[in-house]
C-alpha cells in the first residue's frame, strides 16, 4: 500500500517537472511532447500564461492557486469547455483535439481572460 502511494507520488512529480520544464523553454510543445500535460496556473486573479500554444491532442490543466474560487469557461461559439468551480488547489483538464483558438474566462471574475491556441 505504502509503496504504491510512493510510486504514484513519484509519477506525478515527474510529470509535473516535465510540464514545468516545457513551459520554461517555450509554450509550443514539440511533436515528441505531444502527449505531455500543459499547465496554466491561476494566481492573483489571472491565468498564467494568458496565451498558451499547444499541439493538437495536448491536455491542458488549470490549477487554482488563489484563496478564492475560479472557473475556466470557453467563450468560443460552441462553448468547447466549462469547468466546475475550482476551489483552492483544485484542477481542471481539457484535451484539445481540434486546431483552433479557444478564448476562455473565469465566469465568476470575468475580467480574468486567457486563450489556448491549438496548432
Partner 1 sequence: MSEKKKDELLHDHNHDGVDRRGFLKCMAWAGTGAFCVMKGGVLKSYSLSRVSEISTADMMGELSFVQISDSHMGFNKPANPDVAGTLKAAVDKINALSSAPEFMLHTGDISHLSKPEEFDTVDQILKSAAPKDVFYVPGEHDVLNDDGKQFLERYGKGSKGAGWYSFEKKGVHFIGLVNVMNLKAGGLGTLGHDQLEWLEDDVKHLKPSTPIVVFGHIPLWSVYPEWGWGTEDSAQALAYLKKFGSVTVLNGHIHQTMQKVEGNVTFHTAASTAFPQPAPGKADSPGPMKVPAEQLKSVLGITDVNYIQGKHALAVVDSSLA
- Positions in the binding site for partner 1 (CB under 8 A): 44-46, 66-69, 71, 75, 84-85, 87-88, 103-105, 107-111, 113
Q: Of the two residues 96 and 102, which places its CB atom closer to partner 1 in the complex? A: 102
Q: Which CB, 37 or 74, lies closer to partner 1?
A: 74
Which helix or strand (DSSP H or E) is residue 23 part of? helix 2-25
Nearest to partner 1 of 11, 68 (CB atom):
68
Question: Closest separation between CB of residue 85 and partner 1, Å?
Answer: 5
Single out the residue of 53, 52, 16, 56 nearest to residue 37, CA to CA: 16
Residue 113 C-beta: closest distance to partner 1, Å: 5
In 44-119 the beta strands, taken as DSSP E runs, fall at 46-48, 51-54, 59-64, 73-74, 91-95, 100-105, 113-118
Nine cell digits for residue 83: 469547468
CB of 45 to partner 1, least distance (A): 4
Amino acid at each position: 500500500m505504502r509503496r504504491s502511494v510512493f510510486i504514484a507520488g513519484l509519477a506525478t512529480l515527474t510529470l509535473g517537472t516535465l510540464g514545468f520544464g516545457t513551459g520554461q523553454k517555450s509554450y509550443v510543445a514539440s511533436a515528441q511532447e505531444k502527449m505531455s500535460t500543459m499547465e496554466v496556473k491561476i494566481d492573483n486573479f489571472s491565468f498564467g500564461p494568458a496565451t498558451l500554444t499547444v499541439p493538437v491532442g495536448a491536455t491542458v490543466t488549470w490549477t487554482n492557486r488563489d484563496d478564492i474560487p475560479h472557473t475556466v469557461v470557453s467563450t468560443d461559439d460552441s462553448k468547447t469547455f466549462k469547468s466546475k468551480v475550482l476551489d483552492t488547489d483544485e484542477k481542471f483538464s481539457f484535451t484539445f483535439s481540434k486546431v483552433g483558438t479557444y478564448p476562455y474566462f473565469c465566469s465568476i471574475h470575468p475580467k480574468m481572460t486567457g486563450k489556448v491556441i491549438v496548432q
